[in-house]
Amino acid sequence: MSGNWREHIESYTSCVIALAVFLFAAPWVWGYSGVPRASWSAWISAMVVAGLAVVSWVWPPLRAERANLFGGLWLILAPWALHFTESSGAFWTHVCVGAGVMAFAAAETWILHRASWAEMKPHQATDLSGSYRS
pLDDT in tens, 19-28: 999 999 999 9
Question: What are φ and ψ of residue 129, in 5° steps?
Answer: -75, -15
Q: What is the pLDDT of residue 85?
A: 92
In a domain, 77, yes or no: yes
Structural domains in the chain (count): 1
Q: What average pLDDT does range 40-50 have in this prediction?
A: 96
**Alpha-carbon distances of 52 from 32, 34, 35, 75, rounded to whole Å:** 25, 28, 26, 14
Average pLDDT taken over every residue of the chain: 83
In a domain, 93, yes or no: yes
In a domain, 131, yes or no: no
Length of the chain as a residue count: 134
Quote the domain boundaries for residue 108.
24-120
Q: Which of 118, 22, 122 is nearest to 75 (CA)?
A: 22
pTM of the model: 0.78
In a domain, 3, yes or no: no
In a domain, 11, yes or no: no
pLDDT, greater one: 77 or 57: 77
For residue 102, is pLDDT > 90?
yes
Q: What average pLDDT does range 84-94 have in this prediction?
A: 94
Could you give the CA distance from residue 59 to residue 52 in angstroms, rounded to a whole number?
10
